Structures are given as structure tokens and as C-alpha cells.
Chain A
């Protein structure tokens, strides 16, 4: 079984600040990490590797320094790493990104593609599903559990929503988007780190992919960011210490005052 895990290197947003003047992320000095949902997906793939002997390839699109995220994935136990890195891929929105990733996936042999649900620096949750659409394979998003059926021909995925879950069986090949909560990713191993730096990371450029240049990079991105800003902080609410009945009356009164009801 061959599994490709798509990973994105992201700034560790738990440590990120927004420049109050420009409204953009202050990236200087912020450590880069593997996007948490992607890392959950990688762990799920590595568990399958241990159980059924799957071969795990990690695929990323990013600048040359995204190499570090792939080395980390190798040090955790992935078998192979491919970085799609070309200045012409830069500035991509989700459409251009998914077009590029799908082009790379067409070159690879796989039974299962795992993407993280969404990246913490974008939160779109679009790339995984778009990749599945480009490739014309079934997609199962929001996976909190993933297992392979005994015959190895389908996966069973628990899809989690705010108010419930579905258990879905999908025939391979398919694409699954993973939640970080689905597992606790393993650490890198010491031997893994040394091996990761002996391993070759394949770098694929535009010429290596069969993709329409009109669908990649900034030029191939239909999304335009009009403005990005930090939401103002809400004012402290009012606290009423009253019985439930009076509480309900106050709520209704306030909602009416604001013409909400």
C-alpha cells in the first residue's frame, strides 16, 4: 500500500503576532512547524505503515526552507519526501495550490492520500477537497479515526462534526482529510533525524509537473485578498445576578431592543 501525506510548513501560530500597523503576520523569529492537522494525518499514515507495511511519502509545496518540515516527517518515519518548490508556484491560493499538488500526485503511485483538514495559517479547509476533485477520487473529510479494511481495498473513516459523527467506508483510491485530534503524533527518533539528513528530498519544479501554468502560483489564483485585519476586542458584557425568569426577560428585552427578534 502506498500512502501520500500532504503537509504544509506553517508558522507556529501559538507564537504569532499581528503587526498592528500593516495587519499582516509578523513571521520573523517565529518557529516553523508541520501544520498540526497534517501531522495528525502523517501519524495516521505511519500507524498504517506499522500495521500493514504501507510506504509513506510526504509531499509539500513551499519555499526551499520547507525542507525542514519534510526532514521532520522523515525523522518521524516517512519513507520518502518530495518538495514542490519553484518561484512560479509562489503566492498560490487554494485553487493554485490544489492544482499543483494534484499534478504531483498524478505522477505518483498511491492508494490513499491524506491531507490535514486545514492549515493554521489559512484555515480554509479547501485544499484537500479540491485535490480530490482534481484527481476525481472520493474524499472523506474531518477524519478522527482511520482504519483499513481487512481486504485492504477500502478505508473506514469516522467523520466528526460539531454535533455528531458519521462512519464512512470509502473504496481506495481515495483522499482523507485528517483532524489533529485523531491521534498523538509520535516524536522524531534519534536515528530518524540522522537518516533524514542522509536522505534525498526530491525537488520538483514547474517543468517536472504536467500542469497548466495558468492554474498555478499568484497568476493562477482567482482569490484576491481585499483586506486583512485583526478583529477588534469585544467590550466586556454586562453581568446580571438575577433568577432565571428575570434573566430570560432581560435577554428578550435586549434582543428586541436590537431588532434581533
Chain B
């Protein structure tokens, strides 16, 4: 059994590292403080094929795989959690369901501009009264003669605003519960579709998180994604994939915080020596790295399974649970090892700690991941 990545992925890791260090890291502080969506960075990522990594070239993608994609999320998140989640939501939550559930016509129409990064994607499932409990959907899509009439609103939608292509879940038949949910492709600019309030968040502050509002939006019939009534299944499968992306974001945040801490403890002197020479520092660092390495193996395993078209739902939940909780723990320790400086915005570890918290919440809270894992154990 070989736990090292192959040559392609090793070279890609080097490319992502170079890109993240030079293009993303210098902007991370300002992105966070001013809550700036890093548009220019997204354009640069597009130029190098990073907005469509796991999709075939015939659809505008890079012809890579899921491991290559999550490596990118990891590398970006190491220096900027915001940039990591932009890529993750775009790829896993919008482009992926179009690729996996779209008709050939839909794939030809929507996937190339997304994969080439000309358009950004988003995914709307959560509502004021439907988060983890997806069946509580109040957004409705009524079948009319030649269109669907979409009404309702979505909450906490990552990439909302800058995104131009949205996958939106709505009730098409309330009597059927989750089997009455369908997925639709909604485009920015459609009459009746507006972007609502932008959230003010604790972390990933450059990521645009907004409400989506639909007032009598007439959706062409062909904008139904997947089967009518198949939306819940589509959303759950999509989130399985998304969880690997978020797990990779968490992994990047953890490793980024470790790297910052390693440099800091070698420089910072107390009692006449670098704090790296104290055993407490050494043991803390060892624990941080051991857990992060374990998280990496779980995350890569989930991507590996997805790439081989093997079941990966439980493995994705495991990876997300462990990576996000590791990120929270490691970034908190990183702040502690930085002492008072760690609590200031002069150093990036406080930002990483704030960014890490959301990884335990979105795309399925840690509690949901525990439900998924234990349900598979007890069935």
C-alpha cells in the first residue's frame, strides 16, 4: 500500500503551493478585514484551470480528478480560507451536480463557462426554516404549462452575488415530503430573482454569503436538473462531494496554522531562548501535526474513493468531521502558542481560527456527520 501521491499530484501540489504563496497569501489579510470578494484571484485561478479541475476537457474542465481538486482547496486554504471555500462551493456544489445530473444539453450549456471560470457557481438548499432538516423546504416551484414558477428564499448561500449560475432546491410536490423536492438551474438576471442581504460573518469574511430571493421567477422547463422529485437525493449526493471540499479547506487551515506557528516559535524568545526549545511547544506542535496528517489521509481517502467511483459518503462524512474538528483544535492551539500576538490581527492565526469554525458547521454540521457515520455503523 502506497500512501504517497503520484507524480502528477506531486507536481500539482507544487503548482498550487507556488500560486497560493504568490497570488493568494498577500491578499488574505485584506480580503478578511475588508470583507472583499477576491474577484481578481478567481480570474487568475480560472486562467490556470483551477475552476474546473475534475471535469473533462470536452466540458471546459482541466481533465483532472477529485484528488487534484481537493489538493487545490487545501493549498489555497492554507493561506486563505475564503479563497478555499469559493473554489469548493463553485466546484462541488454547482459544477459537479450539473456534470453528474445534467442532461447532455445542460452540460454543454452550463458546464464549460463554469469549468473555465468565466462564471462562478453557487448552490441553494438552506432556508430560514430548513437547514439540516432539508425536508422543511418552503421554496416552491409550481409546474405551469411551459415553465416552472419559482417562489421563496434561500439563506447563507456561499458565492451568492458574484455567482451567475445557481443550483436551487424547491418543493415541486409538498405532499411527497423529501420526494417532492426538485433541483433547478437558475441564472443571475432572471426576472424576479434577486440577491438579498449579505451576511456579516465571523470568518471566511471575503466569501460572499447572501440570501437568494425568488418572486415569481419563470424558469424554462428545461432548467429542471435531474428528475422531478429527485432533488433531495441530488442535494444529498452533492453534499457528499462538497464535504470532501470542506474537509480539504479545514485541512488547509490546520496546516497553514501549523506552518505559521513553526516559524513563530523559532523566532519568539522568552526566558532567553526561542519558545521552540520548550518541551510544551514541541509536544503541542507534534500533536497538531499528527492530527493534521491523520485528517489528510482521511480527506485523500474520500477523494480517492470518489475518483474510483466507489461509495464514499461515509468516508466523506468521516473526513469532514475529523478535519474540521482538527482545524478548530489546531488553529486554537496555534493562537495559544503565539500568545498575545496570536490574538492580534498582526498575525494570521486568529483569522485561521475564525475561518476554521465554519468548517464544523456548513455543508452538514459535525453532528450531522456523526449521524451519517453512526447510521452506517448501526444499520
Is A72 among interface residues, defined by CB-CB distance under 8 A? yes
Is A197 among interface residues, defined by CB-CB distance under 8 A? yes
Bound form: Cα–Cα A108–B38 in Å? 45
Is B64 among interface residues, defined by CB-CB distance under 8 A? yes
Is A223 among interface residues, defined by CB-CB distance under 8 A? no
Query: For residue A68, which residues in chain B have a CB less than 8 angstroms away from its CB?
Result: 11
What is the number of residues of chain A that contact chain B, defined by CB distance less than 8 Å?
Answer: 16
Q: Whose C-beta in chain A lies nearest to the C-beta of B65?
A: A194
Query: For residue A190, which residues in chain B have a CB less than 8 angstroms away from its CB?
Result: 12, 15, 48-50, 53, 62, 64, 68, 72
- Chain B nearest Cβ from A225, distance in angstroms: 32
Bound form: Cα–Cα A72–B50 in Å? 17
What are the interface flags for A127-146 relative to B under an 8 Å C-beta threshold, 1 for contact and 0 otherwise? Answer: 00000000000000000000
| Contacts A68-B11, A194-B8; A187 near B62 (Cβ below 8 A) | no
| Contact, CB under 8 Å: B57 / A193 | no
Which residues of A40-92 are within 8 A (CB) of B? 68, 71-72, 75
| Contact, CB under 8 Å: A197 / B7 | yes
What are the interface flags for A176-187 relative to B under an 8 Å C-beta threshold, 1 for contact and 0 otherwise? Answer: 000000000011
Is A255 among interface residues, defined by CB-CB distance under 8 A? no
Bound form: Cα–Cα A194–B8 in Å? 6
- Chain B nearest Cβ from A246, distance in angstroms: 40
Which residues of A137-191 are within 8 A (CB) of B? 186-191
Q: Whose C-beta in chain A lies nearest to the C-beta of B72?
A: A190
Q: Which of B15, B18, B64, B72 has the most CB of A within 10 A?
A: B15
| Contact, CB under 8 Å: A194 / B7 | no
What are the interface flags for B28-69 relative to A under an 8 Å C-beta threshold, 1 for contact and 0 otherwise? Answer: 000000000000000000011110010001000111100010
Bound form: Cα–Cα A72–B19 in Å? 14
- Chain A nearest Cβ from B159, distance in angstroms: 20
What is the number of residues of chain B that contact chain A, defined by CB distance less than 8 Å?
Answer: 19
What are the interface flags for A194-206 relative to B under an 8 Å C-beta threshold, 1 for contact and 0 otherwise? Answer: 1111000000000
| Contact, CB under 8 Å: A193 / B12 | yes
| Contact, CB under 8 Å: A194 / B63 | yes
Query: For residue B68, which residues in chain A have a CB less than 8 angstroms away from its CB?
Result: 190, 193-194
Report which of B47, B48, B64 forms a contact with A194, defined as CB distance below 8 A. Answer: B64
What are the interface flags for B1-17 relative to A under an 8 Å C-beta threshold, 1 for contact and 0 otherwise? Answer: 00000011001100100
| Contact, CB under 8 Å: B62 / A191 | yes
Q: Whose C-beta in chain B lies nearest to the C-beta of A71?
A: B11
Report which of B8, B18, B62 forms a contact with A189, defined as CB distance below 8 A. Answer: B62
Bound form: Cα–Cα A190–B63 in Å? 8
7 residue pairs from A and B, CB less than 8 Å apart:
A188-B12, A189-B47, A190-B62, A191-B61, A191-B62, A191-B63, A193-B68
Given contacts A187-B15, A188-B12, A188-B48, 7 further A-B contacts (CB under 8 A): A71-B11, A190-B12, A190-B49, A190-B68, A194-B8, A196-B8, A197-B7
B contacts, CB < 8 Å to A:
7-8, 11-12, 15, 18-19, 47-50, 53, 57, 61-64, 68, 72
Nearest first, the 5 A-B pairs at minimum CB distance are A190-B49, A190-B62, A191-B62, A188-B15, A189-B49
